[in-house]
Amino acid sequence: MFRPRVIPVLLLKNNGLAKSVNFKDHRYIGDPINAVKLFNNFKADELVFLDIYASKEKRLVSLDFVKKVGEEANMPFAVGGGITSLNDIKAVLNAGAEKVVINASAVQNPSFIKEAANTFGSSTIAVCMDVKKKFLSKEKKVFTINGSKASVFSPVDFAKKMEELGAGEIIVQSVEKDGTMSGYDLELIKQVSGAVTIPVVALGGAGTLAHLKQAVIESNASAVAAGSMFVYHGPRRAVLVNYPSRQELNTLFS
């Protein structure tokens, strides 16, 4: 029986674990390595770590941090943050990551994705697109640099281009849904999923198991990812790392 991957996405700020709402108001919530240990115990399918200031500060995610995760994690994990060259990808993979997540460089230099896929294989290259409406517009565009810089790409056109260039999967993140725990942007995910054949990972807005199911059943997401849902508990958003049991997930998607 096929069961979609369920992926905690952990944001890094100054090598600490952070959480945002609409890509703003970042809140420190703890030690990321401790979170890895807890997700080991929960037997999470996969983890994604994103250094949210690496591109803005023109630096690569800390390789020491990636090595620490690699030494601790029992599950596959992907890492993004400031990846701009083949040497960067090699360094992150050598430090222990199974995949790299590329955001700004995919928008600024799309041919980089083709070089990366040809060198390391498509299964190693994930592209994350941050999507929101342009100011005073109903039109959604792909953004970079923490959702601050609009590109010329629509989500569907960008996803098609990334697939053509060899990306192995697309992470579709709604900036406007980020941290709200109100549910995914189902229409956005459905549009992108319908436009490409590579896996599409839904991100931004999940707050309940029902939201995960909706993204898969209604919008054809190949996998579902979340941040707040897996680090907060209750209406007051107390910090509590959590993850559904295998039985819960098998029942949810059956």
- The helix, strand and coil proportions of the chain, stated in percent and rounded to the nearest 5, come to 35, 25, 40
Model pTM? Answer: 0.95
**Active site (catalytic) residues:** 130
Q: Which of 95, 19, 99, 88 is nearest to 54 (CA)?
A: 88
Distance CA 111, CA 217 (A): 33
Q: Please report, for the domain that includes residue 91, its CATH number.
A: 3.20.20.70
Domain count, the chain: 1
- Contact present, 180 and 194 (Cβ < 8 Å): no
Q: What are phi and psi of 37, to 5 degrees?
A: -60, -40
Check pLDDT > 70 for residue 1: no
Helical (H) or strand (E) element with 233: strand 232-233
What would the mean pLDDT of 76-103 be, rounded to a whole number? Answer: 98
Check pLDDT > 60 for residue 40: yes
Distance CA 48, CA 73 (A): 11
Q: How confident is the model at residue 104 (pLDDT cuts 50, 70, 90)?
A: very high
Residue 25 confidence (pLDDT): 80
Q: How confident is the model at residue 123 (pLDDT cuts 50, 70, 90)?
A: very high
- Which residue segment(s) compose the domain that 54 sits in? 5-252
